Structure 1
């Protein structure tokens, strides 16, 4: 271990047992929840959770399209990863890409009728999974606390 690494280890404020328990519980539960939601969509609708999130954002857009850069921000993905994902979704007929008319440089992802049909078909499965694996497990005060906690985390990280 270098002197620099040793100094960093000494300066680290290690997690207490309660903090470690909270952190590990979050990691495990989040991974399990994302896995089950993804599996439900894959098994029943041949959609990944990432596909579903993209389709929802495009559906929520007034004209069914978003700049690729805005879509990447919306799904918390790198632009290169999103480009590969959109290419796969385009091959399945769920989206198309076009040039942004505003400036001619940006690229838009546009939901197709097939994409709209797929997200409409998958939405009940997704909502049922979210409800049975998260929402229905919490009291209303726990749900409020969960919302408050993750809005705070998201805002703090987003502001950096």
Structure 2
């Protein structure tokens, strides 16, 4: 099989993406650590739960939304549970499943932290883009996500993070 090397334009785009995504994640993490003592992932868990009906989501669904492994989610939810921001309950429809629930304390933490998070995201990304570029960014990211998830092929990809079996299970 012959390697399809990146063209110079593709190489520049790839390196720009890697640089921007690394800087963005670091910027968001530093702000959230300074303001709330939590990494971006923990904030994302709180935000997703706050938008869910009754502020609760099944753990497998939450892992899929966040595009992370179930074991990584379990670790993060355990930490948030220890801090009183989230609690875990048994799933009423599946004895093996669990539901993550955003507590009132977790909601208050999210409400205190959200303005700084939005300010950071706006300053790092959206203040530098035209409305047309915002639409293009969304389209590009959705296209990449669909391709990686195999949505166009109709296949159920078992190698996606939220479907992986933990090596310790």
TM over 0.5: yes
Aligned to 1:27: 18
What residue ranges of structure 1 are gaps of 5+ in the alignment? Answer: 1-7
Q: Number of residue pairs matched?
A: 151
How far residue 55 of structure 1 moved from its aligned partner, in angstroms, is: 0.4
Normalising by structure 2, report the TM-score: 0.86
How far residue 140 of structure 1 moved from its aligned partner, in angstroms, is: 1.4
Rounded to whole Å, the distance in 1 between the matches of 2:144 and 2:59 is 25
Q: Residue deviations 1:27-79, cap 9 Å, x none? A: 01001001101111110121210011000111011111111111111111111
> RMSD of aligned C-alpha atoms?
1.0
Aligned counterpart for 2:77 among listed residues 48, 65, 86:
86
What residue ranges of structure 2 are gaps of 5+ in the alignment? Answer: 152-156, 158-169
Rounded to whole Å, the distance in 2 between the matches of 1:148 and 1:74 is 18
How far residue 82 of structure 1 moved from its aligned partner, in angstroms, is: 0.8
In structure 1, the residue corresponding to 2:89 is in which secondary structure? Answer: strand
Q: Whose helix proportion is higher, 1 or 2?
A: 1
In structure 1, the residue corresponding to 2:25 is in which secondary structure? Answer: helix
- Of the two, which has the highest radius of gyration? 1
Normalising by structure 1, report the TM-score: 0.91
Aligned to 1:125: 116
Find runs of 4+ consecutive structure 1 residues off by over 3 angstroms.
Answer: none
Aligned runs of 1:48-87 on 2, under 5 Å? Answer: 48-87=39-78
Rounded to whole Å, the distance in 2 between the matches of 1:71 and 1:83 is 10
Aligned to 2:142: 151
